[in-house]
Amino acid sequence: MGIIENMRLDGKKGFVTGAARGIGKCTATAFAEAGADVAIVDLDFAEAQKTAAEIAEKTGRKVIAISCDCTDPDQVDAMINQVVSELGGLHFCHNNAGICINAPAEEMTYAQWSKVININLNGIFLTDIAAGKYMLSHGGGSIINTASMSAHIVNVPQPQCAYNASKAGVVQLTKSLAVEWAKKGVRVNCISPGYIGTDLTLSSPTLIPLIEQWNAMAPMGRLGKPEELESICVYLAGDTSTFTTGSDITVDGAFTCF
């Protein structure tokens, strides 16, 4: 089979968390365009349903919507069971749900800190483990986590210590699981995007004033586009990446190179 055929995801089943919009919506669309059946997992069930219907109409694949709080172990287990039941298996997942709270460290409340860590790190752990358990007992699979260039640098000018710490944790969790499962057929990788111009980012009154500063610092002078993360995720989900595990792939337009 040639390289192009190996990039296809025909017959594969997977899910994407935080997929109702933004990066998750883009990667879910790409997975479906590559031939996979996909579950759109999000707390915003109404928006997840809209996204699922849109992707299904565009690609002709089976696309379902699932409501799930990824910080709740019972809900995560139920989500995995629903994916397997309705799609017929689980071969890959993109654990992408996350939030950021910008607050100076000396003013950040413990509740704010805990919320970011709980969603960004604990939620990734729960979805990784639940998906991994299924894959370990069903012939293997590929897990993709969304980390961030914030795992490697301290962003300025916005204060976001909780976010940075959580994403650094995602990178180390990814590497740790990859080593533990390397001989068991389950691959675990993460992507570390730079500043990405999602609809939410581009419409946020808080972030709009910062974009000009970010672009001035960026070697490419612009934000990335969500679509520029699609191909790397399709690669990681498919059969051309069978020797790729424990990798943190930075997609940031060279922002972290200086």
Q: φ, ψ for residue 76 (rounded to 5)?
A: -65, -45
Tell which residue, 122, 134, 237, has the closest CA to residue 187. Answer: 237
DSSP string covering 44-82, please?
-HHHHHHHHHHHHHHH-S-EEEEE--TT-HHHHHHHHHH
| CA geometry: angle 183, 174, 123, nearest 5 deg | 125
Q: Find out whether the peptide bond into 219 is cis, omega within 30 degrees of 0.
A: no
Pick the catalytic residue: 12, 13, 25, 167? 167
Amino acid type, 190: C
192 among known catalytic residues: no
Q: How many CB atoms lie within 10 A of CB 23?
A: 24
Q: Is the dihedral of CA 10, 14, 20, 24 positive or negative?
A: negative
Active site residue 163: yes
The whole-angstrom separation of Cα 172 and Cα 193 is 16
1, 238 in Cβ contact below 8 A?
no
Marked catalytic residue, from 163, 166, 192, 235: 163
Q: Which of 148, 150, 166, 241 is catalytic?
A: 148
Amino acid at 205: P
What is the distance between the alpha carbons of residues 113 and 161, in angstroms, rounded to a whole number? Answer: 9
Cross-strand pairs, 63: 38
Question: Known catalytic residue: 85?
Answer: no
List strands edge to edge, sheet with 63-67: 63-67, 37-42, 13-17, 92-95, 141-146, 186-193, 248-251
Q: Which residues are marked as active site?
A: 148, 163, 167
